[in-house]
Amino acid sequence: MKYVDEFRDPDTARKLVQQIQRLTDSIMAKRAEAGYTMPLQLMEFCGGHTHTIFRYGIEQLLPDTIELVHGPGCPVCVLPRGRVDDAVALASRPEVIFTTFGDAMRVPGSQKSLLQAKADGADIRMVYSPLDALKLAKENPEREVIFFALGFETTMPSTALTLLQAERQGITNFSLFCNHITTVPTIDAILGDPDMILDGFLAPGHVSMVIGEEPFQFVAKEFHKPLVITGFEPLDILQSLTMVLLQINEGRTEVENQYKRVVQKQGNSPGQQAIETVFEIRDFFELRGLGSVDHSGVRIRDAYARYDAERKFPLSLTGGGITVTDPAGCQCGDVLKGLIRPWQCTQFGEQCTPQTPMGALMVSSEGACAAYYQYSDVQELKLKRSHQKESVSA
């Protein structure tokens, strides 16, 4: 298939893997001289990258001295339970048609998921874009159509433009339940966490398409970590890893752009403008696993309050960002921060499986736990975990 197969070519992959091996060897040799043997910790922030890494078995192509840390960049995964509860409450109102992207349907709330709410009679419909939701509003003037607005900056422009279109067309029975989150404060929170030792970042390509390269400069300048904006095909990932390793090997910390075929330095200004018009930064927003993070979410500006489901239908639970804690034993937070691997969580493959997810990382196909579960030998991983436990207690 044209324009896709070129980015999955095994010969090019082999060459890149060889280069990665050489660079890693060189870096590790230098580190050994300095008496430092920790494997390299490289974080891919975005769930889309996590999915590609697993689907193409990229981890097994890499040297053991590279550990990929699967970051919190899956908006479905970091959706806190309280917000799911609110979504269920909104969807259960008799006048409401609640519209959502499919992968948010199975995220567990503290009582139920949207999928269970639908089975209990709520009118919940899967859509592919917010425009589909707006169309439903036009077709059902007697109902209130709420769109479950999710995602980082990638999906913000389409939500914003849909709201503006609703205003232009004078549609009043349409609103957004806004859970959009921002990339930069989230990365800032990760880098500021004293538990985290990261050597470099693969930054999200689609987000960068909107916000551009500049907002990531603080990673290189303040935190002195190399960062490469990365595309979503397997060769994109390998090439970006090479670029990060080159920087480490040469002692550089810069923002580089591997995904130039899509991402422009200054981003997409109509998209940025739409975001700016409709949204403002929240003081704080809760991200599952990371807790409350300052400025990590956006809300709808007062000028468009009539399109804000949170204001149209006051929510009792988490309107102010009150945390509903994860179930006991759930270690999504530690996995999101890269402190443990998904299979090291004691619930992985036990209480928590894709059929009965406890935490959000087991829900979305972009969640690190679901990816491990789907693409690895779960029994082997569980065995590995119990061996580890034994050696720790011994």
Closer by beta carbon to another protein, 5 or else 142: 5
Q: State yes or no: residue 10 binds another protein (CB under 8 A).
A: yes
CA angle 17, 21, 22 (to 5 degrees): 120
Q: How far is the CB of 252 from another protein (least distance, A)?
A: 29
In contact, 114 and 87? CB cutoff 8 Å? yes
Q: How far is the CB of 46 from another protein (least distance, A)?
A: 14
In contact, 181 and 78? CB cutoff 8 Å? yes
Q: How far apart are CA 347 and CA 332, in angstroms?
A: 10
Q: How far apart are CA 155 and CA 350, in angstroms?
A: 34
Which of 60, 316, 386, 393 binds another protein (CB under 8 A)? It is 60
Among residues 322, 321, 316, 333, which one has the least CA distance to residue 282?
321
Among the candidate windows 6-14, 73-81, 277-285, 287-295, which touches another protein by CB under 8 A?
6-14
Q: Quickly count: other Cβ atoms within 10 Å of residue 167's Cβ.
A: 16
Q: How far is the CB of 196 from another protein (least distance, A)?
A: 28
Both structure tokens of 344: 């090291």
In contact, 130 and 270? CB cutoff 8 Å? no
Question: Binding pattern to another protein, positions 67-96, x when CB under 8 A?
Answer: ------------------------------
Q: How far apart are CA 289 and CA 365, in angstroms?
A: 17
- Binding-residue total with another protein (CB under 8 A): 30
Among residues 204, 235, 197, 203, which one has the least CA distance to residue 12?
235
Task: Say which DSSP state 38 is in.
Answer: P
Among the candidate windows 52-60, 70-78, 178-186, 240-248, which touches another protein by CB under 8 A?
52-60
| DSSP β-bridge partners for residue 287 | 291
Residues of this chain, 228-267, that bind another protein according to CB under 8 A: 234
Which of 27, 43, 46, 58 binds another protein (CB under 8 A)? It is 58
Which of 15, 55, 221, 260 binds another protein (CB under 8 A)? It is 55
Residues of this chain, 113-142, that bind another protein according to CB under 8 A: 128, 132
Q: How far apart are CA 295 and CA 10, in angstroms?
A: 42
Closer by beta carbon to another protein, 8 or else 312: 8
Both structure tokens of 380: 């082997």
Q: State yes or no: residue 304 binds another protein (CB under 8 A).
A: no
CA 281 to chain centre: 18
Which of 93, 164, 365, 384 binds another protein (CB under 8 A)? It is 365
Q: State yes or no: residue 334 binds another protein (CB under 8 A).
A: no
**Residue 39 is which amino acid?**
P
- Distance between terminal CA atoms of the chain? 53
Q: State yes or no: residue 373 binds another protein (CB under 8 A).
A: yes
Q: Read off φ and ψ for residue 125, nearest 5 degrees.
A: -125, 140
Q: State yes or no: residue 279 binds another protein (CB under 8 A).
A: no
Among the candidate windows 48-56, 189-197, 205-213, 243-251, which touches another protein by CB under 8 A?
48-56
Q: Quickly count: other Cβ atoms within 10 Å of residue 41's Cβ.
A: 15
Which of 18, 57, 141, 306 binds another protein (CB under 8 A)? It is 57
Q: How far apart are CA 15 and CA 134, in angstroms?
A: 48
Q: State yes or no: residue 63 binds another protein (CB under 8 A).
A: no
The label of the residue with tokens 């927003």 reads 285
Q: How far is the CB of 158 from another protein (least distance, A)?
A: 15
Which of 94, 142, 328, 355 binds another protein (CB under 8 A)? It is 355
Q: State yes or no: residue 382 binds another protein (CB under 8 A).
A: no
Q: State yes or no: residue 35 binds another protein (CB under 8 A).
A: no
In contact, 47 and 367? CB cutoff 8 Å? yes
Q: State yes or no: residue 391 binds another protein (CB under 8 A).
A: no
Q: State yes or no: residue 4 binds another protein (CB under 8 A).
A: yes
b/e 268-279 (16+ beta carbons within 10 angstroms → b): beebbebbeebb
Q: State yes or no: residue 386 binds another protein (CB under 8 A).
A: no
Among the candidate windows 172-180, 286-294, 296-304, 376-384, which touches another protein by CB under 8 A?
376-384
* Residue ranges binding another protein (CB under 8 A): 1, 4-5, 8, 10, 13-14, 54-58, 60-61, 106, 128, 132, 234, 353-355, 365, 370, 373-377, 379-380
